[in-house]
Amino acid sequence: MKRYLILGIFLIGIVIGVSWWVLDRPVDMHVYTRIEKENGTEISINYPVTGIRKLDRLVETAVSQQETLFRAEAEGMMREFNVDYRYWVVNDRYIQIVLTFFRNNEGLAHPINEIKTFVFDRSKNKILTLSDIMTQEELTRLVPVLQQKFIQKYKDCILMDELQSVIGPDFASYSLFTFNDEVLTFYFNPYEITAGYCNIVSITIPWQEINSKIKITKDVFVDVSWVDSNRSVIDVSKKVVALTFDDGPSKYTNEILTILKEENAVATFFVLGNKVESYQDTIRQAILNGNELGNHSYNHKSMRRLSKEEIQKQVNDTQEVIYRFTGYTPTYLRPTYGFSNQKIKTSTNLEIVLWNVDSLDWKLKNVKTIVNRTMDDVYDGAIILMHDTHARTVEVVRDLIKKLKEQDYQFVTVSELAELKKLKM
């Protein structure tokens, strides 16, 4: 009997231990990035990778399916495919991921916007459905409230027949939802209950209106203050070069920052706004080390295809999120895919900066080839384009800095380069 008791306690301990590990182990989240420009087709894909295999497989599958649709819809007439994301954790337990997909082909009358949501419970190791959050009775009570909110918010494009059939007491109709500490949000894709021009629609319900199965506690964010580090003096008589990085931050950016600091070098990082919160510590460290941040749009949509208002939103949203997490305000913009025109220039007060030496690190695979190509083209005052979203770029930076130092180059930010050019005029 004693032996069975000990065995029982041992098994209970294993169960408790596994539950604790699933719930409390840190989520090593990073953002997967793939940006391509080939034969007139522009592809920008960003989504979170959590390290939880079950969740990551679902996210990767959703992205893959959307890309397959994009390529199949109008072969030979592809224009732009964009995957954006939002990511947050509630109560250190519920991982929330929202993927938004934008597909635009020559063969389509209108671009297509779609959404996919994931609510993952770390303690149960499962994707939640709405029935995990509320009872059938609670949903039934919410239906008229939801219908009324939809009519009020989307009165210009609501399809009443679809509204009555979709917004009902059936849990299957509410597969797209997320929540935070204040509200529960429902999403619907275009054409489900509205005309297509409404795009993705959403309705939020405060938690106090729902007697939910899930208990929400409000997150407390601690303000972090920091001070910029001092830079060494630049010798105006020597050659200079500006290293710049696009499309980050990423899981490789910290390694690049370490190399820059070890080599007493600096760079300008043109960041995407949708990554700032996930890598807020990284970009703070970049500034602390004397580097510079630039604006590279919010989610890498092709700016030349956007209206003036949409360009302004891409730029302003990025400015705001950078300032919110760092207190820093960028003064330079690098348009997506390196394309600039009069519409883009007049849509922002930021100074537009491109490059004159392209490392092609996004395309070439061999580190030595990338470094040699860059060194062949470099000159005093050059701006070098790289991307801190590839593992190989870490080694490129290490080797490139050494070779540039051998040729007596100094490393400056884009704003420092601009000041030096004024001094030498």
Nearest C-alpha neighbor of 250 from the set 210, 286, 222, 223? 286
pLDDT > 90 fraction of the chain, expressed in percent and rounded: 57
- At the topology level, CATH places domain 30-128 in Heat Shock Protein 90 (3.30.565)
Superfamily of domain 131-209: Heat-shock cognate protein, ATPase (3.90.640.20)
Higher pLDDT, 111 or 14: 111
Residue 223: per-residue pLDDT? 36
Measured over the CA atoms of residue 298, residue 299, residue 305 and residue 310, the dihedral's sign is negative
Higher pLDDT, 284 or 12: 284
Higher pLDDT, 199 or 216: 199
Produce one character per residue of 255-294: b if its CB has 16 or more CB atoms within 10 Å, e if not.
Answer: bbbebbbeeebbbbbbbbbbbbebbbebbbbbbebbbbbb
Does the pLDDT of residue 308 top 80, yes or no? yes
- Residue 279 binned pLDDT confidence (cut-offs 50, 70, 90): very high
- Residue 22 binned pLDDT confidence (cut-offs 50, 70, 90): very low
Does the pLDDT of residue 227 top 70, yes or no? no
Q: What is the pLDDT averaged over residues 364-374?
A: 96
Residue 13: per-residue pLDDT? 44
Residue 356: per-residue pLDDT? 96
Contact by Cβ (8 Å): 404, 372:
no
- Residue 38 binned pLDDT confidence (cut-offs 50, 70, 90): confident
**pLDDT tens digits, 133-176:** 888 888 888 888 888 888 887 777 766 667 677 788 888 889 99
Residue 228: per-residue pLDDT? 39
Does the pLDDT of residue 405 top 90, yes or no? yes
> 3-state SS of the chain?
CHHHHHHHHHHHHHHHHHHHHHHHCCCCCEEEEEEEEECCEEEEEEEEECCCHHHHHHHHHHHHHHHHHHHHHCCCCEEEEEEEEEEEEECCCEEEEEEEEEEEECCCCCCEEEEEEEEEECCCCEECCHHHCCCHHHHHHHHHHHHHHHHHHCCCCECHHHHHHHCCCCHHHCCCEEECCCEEEEEECCCCCECHHHCCEEEEEEHHHCCCCCCCCCCCCCCCCCCCCCCCCCCCCCEEEEEEEEEECCCCHHHHHHHHHHCCCCEEEEECHHHCCCCHHHHHHHHHCCCEEEECCCCCCCHHHCCHHHHHHHHHHHHHHHHHHHCCCCCEECCHHHCCCHHHHCCCCCEECCCCEECCCCCCCCHHHHHHHHHHHCCCCEEEEEECCCHHHHHHHHHHHHHHHHCCEEECCHHHHHHHHHHHC
Does the pLDDT of residue 21 top 50, yes or no? no
Residues found in the chain: 425
pLDDT > 70 fraction of the chain, expressed in percent and rounded: 84
Domain residue spans of the chain = 30-128, 131-209, 239-424
Q: Which of 18-27, 169-178, 406-415 has the lowest mean pLDDT?
A: 18-27
The C-alpha atoms of residue 258 and residue 255 are separated, in whole angstroms, by 5
Cα distances (angstroms) measured from residue 22 to each of 55, 94, 121, 386, 399: 13, 12, 10, 38, 41
Nearest C-alpha neighbor of 59 from the set 28, 41, 86? 86
Angle between helices 308-326 and 280-288 (to 10 degrees): 70
Nearest C-alpha neighbor of 179 from the set 93, 104, 76? 93
- Residue 78 binned pLDDT confidence (cut-offs 50, 70, 90): confident
Check for a shared fold between 30-128 and 239-424: no
Residue 217: per-residue pLDDT? 60
Higher pLDDT, 41 or 237: 41
Residue 168: per-residue pLDDT? 82
Q: What is the pLDDT averaged over residues 221-231?
A: 38
- At the topology level, CATH places domain 239-424 in TIM Barrel (3.20.20)
- Given the structure tokens 């891409």, which residue do they identify? 314
Q: What is the pLDDT averaged over residues 319-327?
A: 92
Q: Which of 9-23, 83-97, 183-197 has the lowest mean pLDDT?
A: 9-23
Enzyme catalytic residues: 246, 387
Does the pLDDT of residue 220 top 50, yes or no? no
Q: What is the pLDDT averaged over residues 391-413?
A: 97
Contact by Cβ (8 Å): 345, 310:
no
**pLDDT tens digits, 230-275:** 455 778 788 999 999 999 999 999 999 999 999 999 999 999 999 9
